[in-house]
Structure 1
Amino acid sequence: MPNQPKTPARQMRIGDEWYDFELAAKSQDTERAAVIRAFIDWYIRRPGAELPERPETSYWKTAQNETEAN
């Protein structure tokens, strides 16, 4: 049986920032979904939730420029 996610997929529309967001998340060894879930937990004031740390731009901006050059 294929992988069964614990939650159903949700849809939302996001522009090209989605790709920058992916690079930024990867620069912190995480995934976009994990950052979004952490933000939602913080936003709705779940006990113990903390605002996700924002990455420095030095890594992911460089990676973006290299991606655009290829």
Structure 2
Amino acid sequence: MVSRAKDTHTTNRVVRVADADWDDLGERAGARNRAQVIRDLVAWYLRRPDAKLPERPPVDPTDA
């Protein structure tokens, strides 16, 4: 069953993401911007008009 959202919000969806990936996404996109990055990726994947891939953060040299 899907939870109902307020009229001003989209419905919550459950997506499984590894904890480490979720934490890294929060660090790079900002904890409050993760959802926007995901929405942008979905729109781009579905080839929505004017959809663009979200900008990726700069390479972190400690990730090597």
Please give the root-mean-square deviation of Cα atoms over the aligned residues, in Å.
1.7
What percent of counterpart residues are identical?
A: 42
User: Residue 34 of structure 1 is aligned with which of 17, 33, 36?
Assistant: 36
Match of 1:7 in 2: 10
Counterparts of 1:50 and 1:11 in 2: how far apart (Å)?
A: 24
- Please give the TM-score of this superposition, normalised by the length of structure 2: 0.71
Question: Which runs of structure 1 show a deviation greater than 6 angstroms over 4 or more consecutive aligned residues?
Answer: none
TM-score by length of 1: 0.66
SS of structure 2 residue aligned to 1:42: helix
Residue number in structure 1 paired with 2:3? none
Matched, 1:18 2:53: no
Q: Tell me the CA shift for residue 42 of structure 1.
A: 0.5
Q: Which has the higher contact order (CA 8 A, sep 6+)?
A: 1
What is the total number of aligned residue pairs between the two structures? 53
User: Structure 2 stretches of 5 or more lacking a match?
Assistant: 1-5
Q: Deviations over 1:1-57 (max 9, x none)?
A: xxx35111100111121000000102xxx6000000011111000011111111014
Output the CA distance in 1 between the equivalents of 2:49 and 2:34: 22
Which segments of 5 or more consecutive residues in structure 1 lack a partner in the other structure?
62-70
The amino acid of 2:17's aligned partner reads: I
